[in-house]
Structure 1
C-alpha cells in the first residue's frame, strides 16, 4: 500500500516581524465575524426588519464560518498555502464589499454567510506559523498569533460602533473589504515558498480529520478540554450580559462592551503561556489555567451583585480560559507537522460546538436560577475538565510531553 510521506522540512525559524504580521492579519480576519453585533439595531431599522430577525445575521455568519473551517481549512495540509491564503482573503474581501452594498436583508444575510465561509484565513495562519517556527520558538510564535485573534475579537465591536456612529453601518464593511484586499496582496508576497505536499483526495482528507480525532488519545483529550472551556466561556458571557443589563447594574450596551475589554488580560496570558509551552510546562499549566477559571466562577457566583467582584471574575476568567485555549492550540499543531491544518480544524469545530452549547445552557438556566445557576453549571464543567486532567496527566497528556509519532497518513487509516 502506498503511504503518504511528510514533506515538511525543518524550518529555519520565523522572524518576529512576520510573526506580528500573522497576528495582525489573523486579528483583522476574525473581526469580520463580529462587525455586525453592535450594529443590529441600525441594520434592523435601515432594512425594515425586527431586531430579533436582524440577529440572524450573526447566526448565519457563524454557521458559515464553521462550515468553512470544516470544508476548507483541511486543504491547508495539501494545497499551496502561498496561493491559497491570499485567494481566500480576496474572496472574503469580495463578500464584505457585497455586504456593504446589500439592497435588502435577504441579500445581506446571504453575503454575511459568505463572509463567514470565506473568513477562515486566520485558521490557516496558525498551522502555517507552526510549520515555520522551530521547536524552540513554536509556543511563543503560536501564542503571539493567537493573541492577535483575541485583540481582533475585543476591538472589533468597539471599532464597528465608532465607525457606524460616524459614517453609517455600511462603511465598516467598506473598510473591512479594503483591509482584507490590502492584506491579501501583502500575504501573497510575505508567505515564503513552502515545500510541496502530497496530494490527498478531498473526501479522504475530510475523513482523516475525524479519524485522527478518534484514533489518537491526546487529540481526543485536547478536544474535550477545548469544548469544555468554550462552553464555560460563552455561558459566562451570555449570562453576564443578562446580569449587567438588570438591576442593580442597569448597564448600557456600551458599558457592557467596556467590561469585555478586560479580556485584554487574556492576551497577556496567551503571550505568557506560549513561553510556558517552550519550556515544557504545558501539562501543569493546563491545570493552573483550569484552576484559575474555577476560582473566577466561584468569585463571580458569590459576588454577583457587586461590580468589583464581577470585574475581578472577568479578569481571572479571561486569563484562565484564554491561556489554556492557546496551550491547546499550540499542542495540537505540534502533534504531526503533516496534519496541522486538519488537527486545527478538529479543535476549532470542537470549540464551536462547545461555544454553541454554552450559550444555550446560559439561556436555558437563566429563567430557572439566573446568575447562580449559570455559575454553578459552568463550575461543574470546569471540575469535569479538571477530573479529566487528573486522570489523563500520566496517560494521554504524558504523550504530549514526549516526541509524538506522526498521525497516520490518510492512506494508512482503515476506513
Structure 2
C-alpha cells in the first residue's frame, strides 16, 4: 500500500559534527511544510499523545499509601517506585530518545508504545514489590516516546511560531502530568491501585495504532551510526553552555515539583484525613499549570524569555512559602500547588524554546541532554523527599524544595550578570 501521509524534511541548521553521509546513505526526503489545517490537527494529536503517555510517570504518586499498605512497606520504601520510574525515564532519554535523529520518527514512536503497554500490564499483575519496581523502570524507559514527539513538533512548526506550537504541545503534555494524579486516584478508589495500569495499558495500545496511521513520515538524514550519535551527545554538552545552564536550571525546578507532589499525598492523608478520592480531587488544582505553557511560548517568541524565566523561579519560591507556612490549611497547600506548577511548566517551555534554537539538526540529542538531566534530578528529589517526610514531616520537604529553588535563582542571577557584561562589551 502506498504511504499517503505527509512527509517532513529536516530543518536547515548548523552543520552536524557527525561524519558526512556515505554513498550508500539515502538522501532525506524534503517536502513542503504541512498545510495550516493539517498542522493544527497534528498539533492536537501530538498534545494528546504526549499527555496520555507522560501520565504513566505520575500515576503512582498519589497511590503510594495504598501500595505501601498492600505490600506492608514504609513511606520511604514505597517512594522508591516513583524514583525508579523517573530513573527509568532518564535512562530512556539517554539511550532511546537520540534515535529521533537517526530513525524514522513515526515507526519509532508507535513501536515503543507497544513496549510501554507490555510494561504497564506487568505492573498490574505484579505479585510482589520487587516485580512492581522492575515494571516501573520499564514503564519509565519506554514512556520516553514523549521526548521523540516534542522535537518532532518543533520540526513541523515554522520558525516564527515554533514557540507557540511547542507550547501547545507542551500544554497537552503538562495536562497529562497534572491530571495523572487525579485520574489514578479516582480509578484506584473504585478498582484498586492495579486498575490504573490496566487502563493505561489499553490506552497505549490504542495510541500506538493512532500514531502509526496519522503521524507524518520523518526520516532524518542518516549521517552517522548509533555509537557515533551517542558520542556526539558528549560533544553537545561540552560546546553548548546555554544547554548546560538550561538543563541544570530546569532540573532544579523539576526537583522542586517532584518533591512537592511525591509527598503531598502523605500530608493530605495523615494530617488532613483525606480519602484517596479526596487526594485525586486535590490534584486537580495542578491542572492550572498547563495554562503557563502557551503563555510562556508567546513570551519567548517576543523576546521576553530571560525575564520570564526569572519570574518563574520567583513564583516557585512564593508557592513553596505558601505551602510550607500554610501546611495546616488545605487552601494554602492548593494555592502553593497551583503556583508551583505554573512556575515549573512555564520555565520548561521557555527553556526548551531556547535550546531548540541551538542546533536544529540535532534537536533530539539536545532534548536528550536537557531532559535526562531534568529527570535524574526529579528521581533524586522524589527519593529524598520521601525519606524527609518520613523523618521530618512536611516541614522538611518544604525546606528542601525551597533550597532547590533558591539555587536556581542564584544560577539565574549569575547568568544575568554574565549576559549584561557581554552586552556591554558588544
Over aligned residue pairs, what C-alpha RMSD do you find? 3.2
Q: CA deviation at 1:259?
A: 2.4
- Cα 1:351/1:396, change in 2 over 3 Å: farther
- Cα 1:119/1:315, change in 2 over 3 Å: closer
The C-alpha deviation readout for 1:380-402, integer Å capped at 9, x for no partner, is 43233223223323656999xxx
Correspondence for 1:288 among 288, 295, 311: 311
Whether the aligned pair in 2 keeps the contact of 1:11 and 1:134 (CA below 8 Å) is: no
Q: CA deviation at 1:368?
A: 7.3
Aligned to 1:413: none
3-state SS of the aligned residue for 1:393? Answer: helix
Q: Does 1:220 align with 2:244?
A: yes
Q: Which runs of 5+ in 2 are unaligned?
A: 1-16, 22-26
Whether the aligned pair in 2 keeps the contact of 1:64 and 1:114 (CA below 8 Å) is: yes
- Cα 1:369/1:39, change in 2 over 3 Å: closer
Q: Which runs of 5+ in 1 are unaligned?
A: 400-415
- Cα 1:300/1:171, change in 2 over 3 Å: closer
Identify the range of structure 1 (50-59 vs 71-80) with the bigger mean alpha-carbon deviation: 50-59
Aligned to 1:12: 33
Correspondence for 1:204 among 228, 235, 254: 228
- Cα 1:169/1:321, change in 2 over 3 Å: closer
- Cα 1:191/1:394, change in 2 over 3 Å: farther
Q: CA deviation at 1:355?
A: 1.6
In 1, the alpha carbon distance for the partners of 2:136 and 2:266 equals: 26
Identify the range of structure 1 (32-41 vs 146-155) with the bigger mean alpha-carbon deviation: 32-41
The C-alpha deviation readout for 1:240-287, integer Å capped at 9, x for no partner, is 44443444x333443333222211111011121112122221111101
Q: CA deviation at 1:81?
A: 0.8
Aligned to 1:314: 337
Q: Does 1:362 align with 2:379?
A: no
- Cα 1:135/1:393, change in 2 over 3 Å: farther
Whether the aligned pair in 1 keeps the contact of 2:185 and 2:276 (CA below 8 Å) is: no
Q: CA deviation at 1:7?
A: 6.3
Q: CA deviation at 1:223?
A: 1.1
Aligned to 2:160: 136
In 2, the alpha carbon distance for the partners of 1:388 and 1:177 equals: 40
3-state SS of the aligned residue for 1:198? Answer: coil
Give the TM-score of the pair, scaled to structure 2: 0.81
Aligned to 2:14: none
Show the 5 A alignment for 1:14-413: 15-38=39-62, 49-52=71-74, 57-101=81-125, 107-167=131-191, 169-247=193-271, 249-363=272-386, 365-366=388-389, 370-393=393-416, 395=418
Aligned to 1:403: none
Q: CA deviation at 1:89?
A: 1.3
Q: CA deviation at 1:93?
A: 2.4
Identify the range of structure 1 (141-150 vs 151-160) with the bigger mean alpha-carbon deviation: 151-160
In 2, the alpha carbon distance for the partners of 1:41 and 1:378 equals: 21
In 2, the alpha carbon distance for the partners of 1:312 and 1:305 equals: 13
Whether the aligned pair in 2 keeps the contact of 1:289 and 1:324 (CA below 8 Å) is: yes
Identify the range of structure 1 (193-202 vs 208-217) with the bigger mean alpha-carbon deviation: 193-202
In 2, the alpha carbon distance for the partners of 1:36 and 1:368 equals: 21
In 1, the alpha carbon distance for the partners of 2:102 and 2:398 equals: 43
Q: CA deviation at 1:189?
A: 2.3
3-state SS of the aligned residue for 1:136? Answer: helix
Whether the aligned pair in 2 keeps the contact of 1:68 and 1:117 (CA below 8 Å) is: yes
The C-alpha deviation readout for 1:192-228, integer Å capped at 9, x for no partner, is 2225412322222222223312321101110121111
